[in-house]
Chains A and B, each alone.
Chain A
Amino acid sequence: MRFDPERAAIRFGCGLSARHAPPSDVAGMLTRLQGQDHAAEMFPIPGFAPIHASLDEVGQAVRKQRNGKTEAEREQGQEERRAAVRRIRITGAEWFRQSLLRRALGADGFRERLTQFWGDHFTAVGKGGPWQVAYLPYLEEAIRPHLSGRFADMLKAVIVHPMMLEYLDQKRSVGPNSVAALRNERLSGLNENLAREVMELHTLGAGGPYTQADVRQLAELLTGLNYDRVEGFRFRPAFAEPGAEQVLGRSYGGETPQLSAIMTAMEDLATHPATARHIARKLAVHFVSDQPDPDLIAAMAARFEATGGNLPEVYGVLLDHPASWHDGPGNVKQPIDFVGSSLRALDLVPRHVPSGFGKLRRVFLGPMTLMGQSWGAPLGPDGWPEADDAWITPQRMAARLQWGMTAPFTIRRLLPDPREFVETALGRTVPEPVRFAAASAETRAEAVGLVLASPAFQRM
């Protein structure tokens, strides 16, 4: 099998659209990806600046709540804290709406899918207060600018990002012999969390060629990576463990702690052959199949190694390989892909997509949770599951069906003719039972729901 435009839009993009023609070839997909980010311009999502501002507001309110001189002042602090969190959550909901609009209306579906893929690869979950809505700004700042660059550069952006430093406890990791620990014994804890996940999840992969000693050494090397609530990333030499560290047999750093030593180690981990295999496998599983062709993985890994992790080169192998174009059944869409591609098929204009925290929660975020995807908040740093059967359980299937039958009507009111909609959503290859169901349902809403619930639409 070879490149097919409709399959390209479904398997590597955000689905078919009445508005945008599907990609015409691999070169066009890669050129578009490396060109201007039109979707981000049309539907902007900010970087971390509003999160920093909100963290600052909340921090000041908490200080007032704790140290206020009078009860009234303390109560006011508490109210200010709540109000600040409420404000940022309302604002953050609109960012989620923007990300849906990018999927529904953007020309470059591949870019949106890659953003989701790498955001999941570098999972960081914001917990509590303004962090709860920090996921999309994190993607915008640390992930999206590096989609078509070198893998090493994305890794380096991620490990200095406040979102990751907070999520994997790096902020609290202090070298046992650091200046800070020697001054204050309570500050003596080394935290291995980020170091472990960098090797296990982000680079070499579980079962990769590293030992607990490497984890420990990398954790010592990473001490000093920290952030300021307002200013963002900060390297704190006082927290850093002095002396060189041995990671995978190579020595990094010297007596004086330096950020550059950490970056050298990241460069080496990012371009390691085990990393090449790990990333190649993950891409193949995510885009092509739960059981991908070993040859596809090998070819991508080889290009990764040969180019030092140049990502468009690796995507090129993925898109050129015959195994990537098998005629199904493809992977089951994750809820975000299902919802996004449904909106895309419904041919919306932006005003159709509801705005406001309550509506977004009711129409999208609540149902997606029921489908098994609490947006931006997977249970662990290993991110969302890839296996099809993790997503199609009775409850999750019911939630998809329920959403498909009700949400389009909530959003559009005037639903398309189901006999046409089935062609828009599925393209040339509409299975006969789906075409029949679309024409036979008792209402338009049910017909649209049946098309969206069909395996033909649910799979990529």
Chain B
Amino acid sequence: MTGSALSRRRFMARSLALGCSLAASPLVTPVTMASAPWDARLVVIILRGAMDGLDVVRPVGAPEFAGMRPGLSPGGHDLDGFFELHPALSNLMPLWRAGELGFAHAVSTPYRDKRSHFDGQDILEAGTGMDALGRVRDGWLNRMLQAMPGIEAETAYAVGREDMLILKGEAAVANWSPEAALALSPQAHRLLELVTHDDPLFRDALIEAVELSRTDLAMMTGGEDLEPGEMMNAMQENMRVTRGGASSESIARFAAERLRGDARIAAFSLGGWDTHAQQDRMLPRALAELQQAVVSLKEGLGPTWQKTAVLAMTEFGRTARLNGTEGTDHGTAGAMLMAGGALRGGRVVGDWPGLAEADLYARRDLLPTRDVRAHAGWVMRHLFGIDGAMIEGTIFPGLEMGGDPGLVL
């Protein structure tokens, strides 16, 4: 083992030599952060699987509702005398009372009739009409970035392990998932710097990865250096976590930390909304993740929360009536959640279509009375000052924004 001890000493000498030139070395280039031409923050959460808007924001004032939804989980919170909030979102009621939480109801994308999750999510993230289904390869948040001057690679973050169409496209977007967090012992870190030193692509990616890992690492180790054995344990632990994906809390915390700095846009997705059976058991789990994400964003953003708008959107709603397995099937219109200090909350906006048989879409679904893109468009219009023609022509092609719902303060 003397050989290995010797070579270790030789290495230490080398890395000391490396240390001397650190100041001038590209090794310590900080993560490049560039500010965008505006100060507001936008977070888009894609709710994959079709959230049941009628159960989350319940129209208890509609005479037909009780009959359509027998056995609704009790304990909902009154919102405005007509709508009631699902009890699994109780911790968001303080936000509602502070005017920092609102909903748009009876909204949908232009997607109709086929009710496929995959196509529905593609349309939601592409931001197009149905005519473009399968043809558009970039997302509406990316097209928004393309339309803005002064956007840099760190202006927008897609958070989470999977690619998100909503941020795909020509504009540079950063991507990070807390489960990628690197737990490196000092020795391993130095050796990695050594082996990547002559390849700028790898070297720079490593530097940024180490930098981005700090938030999560601090939670793992309390800020201490890792001992060799601990490093493998921490990595194994990360591999284990990878099975289920990162938690909504760690994703939201990471997004908040970036947004508190120079990032302006973040997007991530939450799953578990496809409640075909036992909805009273399944839906609260998904809602708990959503609630946790909103709460963690607010906590993590601190004062920046006042400049922030969070939009949580889903591909379509669910059937108005409960099905035979105490769940709901794929429908049409649903609800969008809006949160953040930049918004005028405390209201459920929307043109309520009613739940009578004749008022339903195809006699089964809540009828869409407004394109969900119009709300997102108006938020961008006021939050970032984006021209209406740009929104209707490029970001959401074919959209008619219609009247201003006054969502932004």
Contacts and interface: CB of A to CB of B under 8 A. Distances in A.
B44 interface: no
B134 A379 contact: no
A374 to B, nearest CB: 6
A168 B180 contact: no
B228 A446 contact: yes
Interface string A186-227: 000000010010000000000000000000000000000000
Interface in A408-430: 409-410
A441 B198 CA distance: 19
A379 B228 contact: no
Interface in A46-89: 71, 74-75, 78
A407 B242 CA distance: 13
Interface in B98-129: 116-118
A439 B202 contact: no
B235 A437 contact: no
Interface in B191-237: 191-192, 194-199, 201-202, 205-206, 208-209, 211-213, 228-229, 231-232, 235-236
Contacts of B177: 370, 395
B409 interface: no
B176 A395 contact: yes
A72 B399 CA distance: 45
A369 B7 contact: no
A183 interface: no
Interface string B1-15: 001100110010010
Contacts of B174: 393-394
Contacts of B181: 398
Interface string B127-141: 000000011010000
A366 B11 CA distance: 35
A388 interface: yes
Contacts of B194: 433, 436-437
Contacts of A445: 232
Contacts of B394: none
Interface stretch (B160-168, B284-292, B375-383): B160-168
Interface size range of chain A in the complex: 35 or more
A393 B175 contact: yes
Interface string A390-414: 0011111111011101110110000
Nearest to A450: B191
B273 to A, nearest CB: 16
A367 interface: yes
A128 interface: yes
10 contacts: A71-B324, A193-B135, A395-B177, A395-B212, A440-B8, A441-B188, A442-B228, A446-B188, A446-B231, A455-B198
Given A370-B242, A446-B231, A446-B232, 19 more contacts: A78-B277, A127-B118, A128-B116, A362-B240, A363-B239, A382-B137, A392-B201, A394-B180, A395-B176, A397-B209, A398-B180, A399-B180, A402-B235, A433-B195, A436-B194, A437-B191, A440-B7, A440-B191, A454-B196
Interface of A: 71, 74-75, 78, 127-128, 168-169, 193, 196, 329, 332, 358, 361-363, 366-367, 369-370, 372, 374, 379-382, 388-389, 392-399, 401-403, 405-407, 409-410, 431, 433-434, 436-437, 439-443, 445-446, 449-450, 453-456, 458-459
